[in-house]
Amino acid sequence: MYRGGIATSRVLRINMTDLSHKWEDVKKEHADLAGRAFTSTVVSEEVDPMCHPLREKNKIVISPGLLAGTMAPSSGRLSVGAKSPLTGGIKEANAGGLTATRLANIGVRGIIIEGMPEGDDWYSIVIGKDKCEIKRTNDYAGIGLYELIKKIWKDYPTKPGIIGAGLAGQRLYKCAGVFGNNIENSDPGRYAGRGGLGAVFGSKRIVAIISDDTGGSRPEAKEKERFDEARKVFVNSLNDHAVTGRLKDKDGNPYGGLKNYGTNILQNILSEAGGLPTRGFSSGRFDKAAKISGEAVHDLVDRTKEKFGDKAEGKYGHACHPGCIMACSNVVPYEKTGKLHVSPLEYESAWALGANLGIGELHDVAELNRLCNDIGLDTIEAGNTIAMFMEAGKIPFGDGKKAIELLKKAYDEKSIEGALVCSGTLTAGEALGVTRIPVVKGQALPAYDPRPIKGIGVTYATTTMGADHTAGYTIAAEILGIKGTVTDPRKIEKAELSQAFQATTAYIDSSGYCLFIAFCVLDDDDGFKAMTDTVDAFLGKAVDVTAYGKKVLKMEREFNKKAGFTEKDDRLPEFFYTEKLPPHNVVFDVPDEELDAVYKNM
C-alpha cells in the first residue's frame, strides 16, 4: 500500500507480448534514481544496445522526476527513455503535463514496457492507485490528437494525465514525439519530443497511457522540515529573478522574462547576437524575428483580451504542469476570434517552423505548430525536415502556406511526401539530394547556430542524445551570462564548460525540476543551495550534483559505444566547418581534440 514518499514507491512492468503486468519493488541500487537517471539506468541494464529500436527487444521506460508531486516549485517533469529510432543510441526526452504528478501521487517510480503484441489492435494502458489495465482501444488510433485527448477526458472524467503516440508514432515515423496533454486538456502540446520515441510507442501498439491519481497522496520528503524550509527559499529565489520571476514588478510593469514572453523571448536575442539559424542555417539573423517572437505573442494575447474580454483564450504566464511557478508556457490565440490556436508556442518551435524556414508570419508558424501537435511530431525535427524540402527547391523558403500544405500531407497514409515529412531531417535530406543536412547522430540541430556560439556546438557534437541544446545549455553562459559575466561565445576552449553543463543537466533531468531553474540557480548561490537541499531532504541524504550527473552520462555513453558509436560520431556536419555564417562570417573551428576532451576528461 502506497503511503506517499520515495521509500514506498514501486515499478510497474508491462509486457505487451502477452498483455500482462506486474508490480515490482524498486531495486536497492535504484533507490535514489528517478527521471532521466532511472530511465537511462533501466535502458542501459535491460535493452540490447544493438537491437532494432522498433522491434520487441526495445523497451520504453517512463519515470516522474524525483520531486514530482511534491510542493517543490516547477518540479513536475516526466522522463521517457528508450533506444532511439532516430539516433540509434540511448534517449531520454522530458516534458511537463499532468502525467508525472499523477504517477508520483500513486507511488509509481517508473514504468517499464517491453515486448510487442501480435495483430493489428491498438491499446491503451490505464494506471491508477494499485491498478493497471491494458485495454484494446482501436477507436483511439488513427485520429488527430486534439480529438483523442477530448475523447479520453470524456471517457475518464477524473482528469487524468495522458501521454502517447499520434498518427506519426503509430506509423513508426522517426519525427514522432511522445505527446502529453496540458493542464486544461485543450492541447496535446506537452511533448517529450526528441529522438522519435513516439514511434517506439507505436511499435508496441500503444496509443495512450492514462494515469489517474484518485485516492493517491502527495509524496513526502524524508526530512520534512528541512524540505519545506528549502522549498520556501527556492520559491523566493525563483520569484525574484529577472528571468524566472513574477509577472509584474511592484509598479505593475512586466518583470519575469519567462512569465511574460516565454522561452520565445530568445528569438530577438539570438537574432541580434547573429546566432539565430535562418533559412536552413544559411544566416544567423532573421529580419522578421520580431514578428514571431515572444513579445509578438504577448502583444497578440493582450490585443485579443482587450477585444474579446472573458471569451479570449490567449495566455502568457501559463504553467505546463501543476506547481510550475516560472510558467513560461503560453496559449496563442487566433487574432480574429481570440480562441485557442496552439499551446504552447515555444522558442524552439517558433524557430524551427519560423526563422529556420524563413517564415515570418506568426499565424503560419502557430498553424504549423498546431499541425505538429495534432499529428504527433517533434517540432524541431519536423521544422528541420521541412527545411530539407526547401533546401531541395521543392517549396520556397519563406512560403508559410506551402509549408502548411506539405505538412498536411502527413494525414494521408498513402502520400509519399507525407511519409517523408514525418521521417526526419536525415532521411528526408538524403532522399531529396541535400548535402547540407544539420544533424548529429541522426538528430536535427536546435535553435542556436554553433558557428558563432561554440560551446553549444560542443554540446551538440558530444552529448549522448544527438544534437540537443537541453543536454548542456551553454547558452546560459555564452549569451545570457552568469552573475553578470558572459563567457566569450567565440572562444573555442569549451570542453570544460559543456561537460559541466551536461553533468548538471543530467542531475536536473532526474530531479523533476524544469531545466529553466538554471537561469536562477546559476546566478543565485542561495537559490542553488535551496534547490539541492530540497533533493537532499527528500532523499534523506546528501547528493553530489556533479557526481550524480556524470554517473548518468557515463552510463549513457557506454550504451552508445556498445550500439556502435565512436568519437567520429561526435562531430558536426561538414558544412559548419566550411561555410561562413553571416553576419559574423565565422565557421565552427573547435578542434576534434577539444570535442573529445568532454568525455575523455570525465
Asked whether position 342 contacts ligand SF4 by CB under 6 A, the answer is no
Phi-psi region of 274 (alpha: psi -120 to 50; beta: other; left: phi over 0): left
Q: How far is the CB of 326 from ligand SF4 (least distance, A)?
A: 4
Rounded (5°) CA angle 486-551-9: 110
Q: In this chain, which of 182, 329, 343, 369 binds ligand SF4, going by CB under 6 A? A: 329
Q: How far is the CB of 263 from ligand SF4 (least distance, A)?
A: 7
Q: In this chain, which of 41, 58, 70, 74 binds ligand SF4, going by CB under 6 A? A: 74
Closer by beta carbon to ligand SF4, 12 or else 192: 192
Asked whether position 193 contacts ligand SF4 by CB under 6 A, the answer is no
Asked whether position 473 contacts ligand SF4 by CB under 6 A, the answer is no
Is there a contact between 297 and 363 (Cβ–Cβ < 8 Å)?
A: no
- As a whole number of angstroms, the distance between CA 144 and CA 279 comes to 29
Asked whether position 96 contacts ligand SF4 by CB under 6 A, the answer is yes
Closer by beta carbon to ligand SF4, 199 or else 328: 328
- As a whole number of angstroms, the distance between CA 483 and CA 419 comes to 47
Pairing type for strands 10-15 and 20-25 reads antiparallel
| Grid cell of 226 as nine digits | 528541512
Q: How far is the CB of 514 from ligand SF4 (least distance, A)?
A: 3
Q: How far is the CB of 98 from ligand SF4 (least distance, A)?
A: 12
Residue 248, classified by CB atoms within 10 Å of its CB into exposed (0-12), middle (13-18) or buried (19+), is middle
| Grid cell of 14 as nine digits | 508491462
User: CA–CA distance from 501 to each of 40, 101, 281, 494, 575 (Å)?
Assistant: 18, 26, 24, 11, 26
Closer by beta carbon to ligand SF4, 171 or else 321: 321
Closer by beta carbon to ligand SF4, 137 or else 329: 329
Among the residue ranges 212-220, 292-300, 316-324, 422-430, the one whose residues contact ligand SF4 (CB under 6 A)? 316-324
Kindly report the backbone phi and psi dihedral angles of residue 411, in degrees, each rounded to the nearest multiple of 5, phi listed first. -70, -30
- As a whole number of angstroms, the distance between CA 482 and CA 343 comes to 30
Q: How far is the CB of 212 from ligand SF4 (least distance, A)?
A: 22
What mask of x and - would describe binding to ligand SF4 in positions 203 to 242, judged by CB under 6 A? ----------------------------------------
Phi-psi region of 522 (alpha: psi -120 to 50; beta: other; left: phi over 0): alpha
Interface with ligand SF4 (CB under 6 A), residue total 13
Is there a contact between 521 and 74 (Cβ–Cβ < 8 Å)?
A: no
Among the residue ranges 160-168, 325-333, 383-391, 399-407, the one whose residues contact ligand SF4 (CB under 6 A)? 325-333
Residue 414, classified by CB atoms within 10 Å of its CB into exposed (0-12), middle (13-18) or buried (19+), is exposed
Instruction: Find the binding residues for ligand SF4 in span 504-533 (CB under 6 A).
Output: 514, 516
Asked whether position 324 contacts ligand SF4 by CB under 6 A, the answer is yes
Closer by beta carbon to ligand SF4, 262 or else 274: 262
User: What is the binding site for ligand SF4 (CB under 6 A)?
Assistant: 74, 96, 258, 319-321, 324, 326-329, 514, 516
